[in-house]
Amino acid sequence: MNQSPVMAERMRQTKNRILETAKDIFLEQGYKRTTIRQIVERSGITSGSIYNIFSSKEEIFSALVDDLMQNCIDMVQKESSGESPLYRYAAVLMVEMEAIARDERVRELYQEAYTSPVMFEEVVQRHLRLESEIFGEDYVRLFKGDQLMIRNLMVKGAMGAFIDSFYFGHQPNEEDARTMLLSLTLRVLGSKKKDITPLMKQLEEKRNVWIRLSKDVLK
């Protein structure tokens, strides 16, 4: 049975309240230490209402990561309108990497998303949708079978390695790690080697913009 507009709006408000509360707690104490009970107590929403929308803490977290990534994508799209799809896709990665490098809270959220098999699958699917949004359905249809998924897994695997590097005893140079990840991404997405250097230079010239956007990812 379809919900009435009033019920649908009430459900939307409840969902947003749950997500805002969960985000605050995740950022305060991390994903692992957060419980559904804490979200219930702080939000003032009953556990029954929460479970009517989300089946688990993992699903709440996945929805938050989805919002975080979508916020990043929307900011880049607005900032880079008129640029090539490849540029815009790489710019999304730039903002994500700057946020990961500069905010330990973002880094922990991303690490959790990339280390959980269930949530990592969601991340991959999310970026497959991003490719469709930026490059178009015709681009996606150029790849046969699992080729697109394999390419996406390579890019996400590289991003996972970038995140993990911040937890090494001896951390690699951030600029080198960022350059390697972007170069790999551009090659995997079909960019020719001769075209990568000028595109990378173009992205670096706006690095202050990506840093600024990275500070707004959690808003």
- The per-residue pLDDT for range 43-62, each reduced to its tens digit, is 999 888 899 999 999 889 88
Asked whether residue 70 falls in the same domain as residue 119, the answer is yes
Among 54, 74, 95, the domain boundary falls at 54
Res 85 pLDDT > 90: no
Residue 179 structural domain: 60-214
- Residue 219 located in a structural domain: no
Query: Residue 197 CB: number of other CB atoms within 10 A?
Result: 11
Give me 32's structure tokens: 């692992």
Distance, in Å, from the CA atom of 133 to the CA atom of 11, rounded to the nearest integer, reads 27
Are 20 and 107 in a shared domain? Answer: no
What distance in Å separates the CA atoms of residue 122 and residue 157, rounded to the nearest whole number? 14
Q: Please tell me whether residues 100 and 188 are part of one structural domain.
A: yes
Amino acid 156: pLDDT: 74
DSSP alpha helix (H) spans, the chain? 5-29, 36-43, 47-53, 57-79, 85-102, 104-115, 117-135, 137-140, 147-165, 174-188, 193-205, 207-214
Instruction: With both helix axes pointing from N to C terminus, report the angle between 104-115 and 5-29 in degrees, rounded to the nearest 10.
Output: 110
Whether pTM > 0.85 for this model: the answer is: no
Phi, psi of 82 (to 5 degrees): 95, -15
pLDDT the model gives residue 35: 93
Share of the chain above pLDDT 70, in %: 90
